[in-house]
Structure 1
Amino acid sequence: MRGPAWPIGALLVGYPAWWALGFGGLSVIVLAVPMAVILWRRRPVRVPRGFGLWLLLLAGYLVSGLMLGESPPGTYGELGPGRLLGYGMRLALYCAVLITVLYLGNLTERELPQLRLVRMLGVLFVTTVAGGLLGVFLPGFAFTSPVELALPEWISGNAFVQNLIHPTAAQTQKVLGFASPRPEAPYEWANAWGSNASVLLVWFVVGWWVHGRARHRAFVAVVLALATIPVVYSLNRGLWIGLGLTVLYVVVRVGGRTRAALCGVLAAAALAFTLSPLATLFAQRLDNPHSNDIRAFTVGATLAAAGHSPVIGYGNTRNATGNHRTITTGKTDWCATCGHPPLGSDGQLWLLIITQGFTGAALYVAFFVGAIRRHWRDRSPVGLAGVLVMGLVLLYMFVYDGLVTPLILYLVSFALLWRNS
């Protein structure tokens, strides 16, 4: 893409290349540098309403760094390179997504047409579906990225960093009582794949169906049919709930013939799904809520720990002492991934509570609630879709971490709403 919009095209359309190189979601930090330079040269910079809330969130995160050396009761660990590295990466991401929003909002319609931006998100959805299919049919696919090779072992060996720089097709878990591959390519975690798939699906439909021609709509139908496979195999209940609420939202907010046609399509799709082999897998997942006890333990431990620093939090996550079954747990020869669960790992809300206290969580919620309130009356396709995504953000904060790639898509969707007004 020519002109000043090239960093956005490089981020969204070029994302598979970033993933293969080992940058993945960290690509937004790299691209935020040229965005910031261009913004500086184009002063004065316009800012969206609600901008101050995100600045306060950033300021609070800086203050929370004062608590990095502390460990609340019920947790363990000392201040070390891993904790500092995680804090620094989160801070860089929060700054980078803010720069991305400002950059998008200061590009003119001529420099980056709104529909082109929506369609670039749609292209990333196609990439997401392709990655999901890769995870279903080749779950063992993985390779060492150039970034992973270049980094020293003390950095690349960190579990948080490893998920970001080591490309894998799927995350294998015993969700149904046996090893089940859950698609995650081209993102960092299986849950990130689920969150991103649902958000990008919204923009894919707007860009290529609502604003598309007959051939575009035929393409959309094929891609959505293929997307059903990794969506079901992801065993991701949060994604399924999000898709259900998306359908309900659209049915309620559109009217007339559009609503009737949509209901007919949904009825046909539901019948086809019920008759397919995917329905059995779907039912098995609902009968095996294996993660409920784990989530209940980590959320309870997070709230208990945050009670000792409710205003500014602890700057980064902490590992709980024990897990939902026993106080003595850790890695073994037969379970290399076992260990003390990190607090705040079951949703962005809980992550904010442990890292920035209840103050940071309140600012995050206020930022997205404010966006819904300001743009609720926007009945254009982009307005309806943007408000829907802001609602999904508030739903997913209970079950999904926003870091790394989900937060990028949340803020790009926010920028679309801002540009639309």
Structure 2
Amino acid sequence: MTTRPLLARDRGRGAPAGGTRAGGAVGSVDGTPVERLPAWPLVAPFAAYLLWWVLGVGDMVWILAGGAAVVLLVGVRGLRLPPGMLVWLFFLAWVLVSLVMIDSTGRLIGAVYRLLLYAAATALGIYAYTARSALPLVRITGAMTWFLAGMTVGGILAMVLPELVIRTPMAWVVPRGLAANDLVGEMVVRRTSQWKADAWEPQAVRPAAPFLYTNTWGNVYSLVLPLVLLHLSLVWRTRWRWPTALVAAASVVPAVSTLNRGMFIGLGVVGLWCAFQALRRGAVLPVLAAGVALVVAVGAWAASPAGRAFTNRVETTESTTDRAELYRMTVEGAATSPLFGFGAPRPAPQPWLPSLGTQGQFWTVLFSHGFIGIALFMGYFLVLVPMVVKRIDTAGAVLGGIVLATLVETSYYGMMTGIMVSVVAACLLMRPDTVVSTRAGPRTPVPPASTSRSPGRGGER
């Protein structure tokens, strides 16, 4: 759902300065020219995610795509890292060192898998920052729109067939011993929801497809929907306006069915930040109009059966109390191994609680990789905050809002899938050519930020 010419306004407002070694513009180099980097390593995993889910590849696609991105980037000499990425690379190194604390084969498989996902997010982020000709902003947000479309189809499928089990092609390929691992087994034999008809208490059907868990659905949705709405603003004057709007509108149905409190918090963070940045650039009336529309929409939803179900879940769930106890024990456990952590989550003393180091990426990193590990993990996003504040343009506000939402959501969401969106958004935030404002006024083209190249598909945003 992308389009050809895309123009921007207010070039230079909040754009990071180029020319530095860490974040300067990437130009022609002695190796493979950056103009020849293809788009597919980033587009394929996001846009076709529903296909990878059906095939049983699932989140392994991030690792495959990240590996492809690394291979393509290796041939680019003079490659420059996005600002702040060095902190993230130190985090990766610390995760690798922390593997020495693993005490079982099963935990080692999970720990290595998480390390590869972190590495994949790194590669995809650097690739999004570097391949500017092949990956203009509109193409990346278009890929996210297809991603959301796949999520919507999976979510609606879960609502219609909540007990559906799909034995994917990978189930016939993966060795039985490996498939016996809980994580691998859940990837190759797919379920559309976590709903059980024979549960002790009646449960609402909460979609999970095309992910393993409902919370993953909510986390990814809170990060992807803002990018889809950004895409809608970018293609508003093209034929892609209506398909994009349809995807965004249809996604609301499974989203509200997840009854996911954290999802609404994340969307609220992005929305409030975008409103604040819009006020900073003088767009008072649009913010007021959006606020009124939001109040009306929330009121209508609260009065609907979906709203009443959400309220009932908030009032009756005991997960908040359980999480608080789990987090307390996680911190106490991490304090007994503060340097390298334990390499991976471990069972809680109480059998009814989830494992220590789960129920939030912050706690997973803290327990698995110690206090230095969590400082590096959170530090990467925190060092971006000055740029988040500086980017008052529309695209910068959305990307910055995603960074802030990530900081908030790590406290209660496992983000091994959502981290792909977060790191890509963070790297796009640092690209000067992503400065786009939809404020009223004449549109003017933004010259390419990285190299001098002839007009064409690769040079558009």
Shared fold, TM over 0.5: yes
In structure 1, the residue matched to 2:222 is 198
Q: Which sections of structure 1, spanning at least 5 residues, go unmatched?
A: 70-78, 325-339
- Give the Cα–Cα distance (whole angstroms) in 1 for the partners of residues 130 and 37 of structure 2: 13
- Which shifted more, 390-399 or 243-252? 243-252
In structure 1, the residue matched to 2:300 is 272
1:391 aligns with 2:404: yes
Q: Which sections of structure 2, spanning at least 5 residues, go unmatched?
A: 3-35, 434-461
Equivalent AA in structure 1 for residue 109 of structure 2: L
Within-5 A mapping of 1:20-169: 20-69=54-103, 79=104, 81-108=105-132, 110-169=133-192
Comparing both structures, which one devotes a greater share of its residues to helix?
1
- Give the Cα–Cα distance (whole angstroms) in 2 for the partners of residues 176 and 199 of structure 1: 33
| Partner SS for 1:23 | coil
- Give the Cα–Cα distance (whole angstroms) in 1 for the partners of residues 385 and 210 of structure 2: 29
Count of residues in Structure 1 that have an aligned counterpart in Structure 2: 394
| Partner SS for 2:88 | helix
Cα distance per residue 1:267-307 (max 9 Å; x no partner): 33224324432222122112122212321232122112111
- Give the Cα–Cα distance (whole angstroms) in 2 for the partners of residues 176 and 197 of structure 1: 29
Select the structure with the greater relative contact order (CA < 8 A; seq sep ≥ 6).
2
Q: 1:285 to 1:215 in 2, by over 3 A?
A: farther
In structure 2, the residue matched to 1:345 is 358
In structure 2, the residue matched to 1:336 is none
- Give the Cα–Cα distance (whole angstroms) in 1 for the partners of residues 411 and 302 of structure 2: 29
In structure 1, the residue matched to 2:264 is 240
- Which shifted more, 115-124 or 273-282? 273-282
Query: CA contact under 8 A between 1:306 and 1:354: conserved in structure 2?
Result: yes
How far the C-alpha of 1:3 sits from its partner, in A, is 6.1
- Give the Cα–Cα distance (whole angstroms) in 2 for the partners of residues 319 and 281 of structure 1: 32
In structure 2, the residue matched to 1:331 is none
User: Kindly, what percent of the aligned residue pairs are identical?
Assistant: 29
Within-5 A mapping of 1:221-260: 221-254=245-278, 255-260=283-288
| Partner SS for 2:339 | coil
How far the C-alpha of 1:92 sits from its partner, in A, is 1.3
| Partner SS for 1:248 | helix
1:375 aligns with 2:375: no
Equivalent AA in structure 2 for residue 45 of structure 1: L
Of 419, 429, 451, which residue of structure 2 is paired with 1:407?
419
1:295 aligns with 2:323: yes
- Give the Cα–Cα distance (whole angstroms) in 1 for the partners of residues 143 and 223 of structure 2: 13
- Give the Cα–Cα distance (whole angstroms) in 2 for the partners of residues 271 and 341 of structure 1: 35
Query: CA contact under 8 A between 2:145 and 2:244: conserved in structure 1?
Result: no
Equivalent AA in structure 2 for residue 394 of structure 1: L
Query: CA contact under 8 A between 2:125 and 2:427: conserved in structure 1?
Result: yes
TM-score by structure 1 length? 0.87
In structure 2, the residue matched to 1:12 is 46
Cα distance per residue 1:79-136 (max 9 Å; x no partner): 2x2111112111111212111112121113x322221111211221122122222222
- Give the Cα–Cα distance (whole angstroms) in 2 for the partners of residues 364 and 179 of structure 1: 35
Query: CA contact under 8 A between 1:344 and 1:354: conserved in structure 2?
Result: yes
| Partner SS for 2:206 | strand
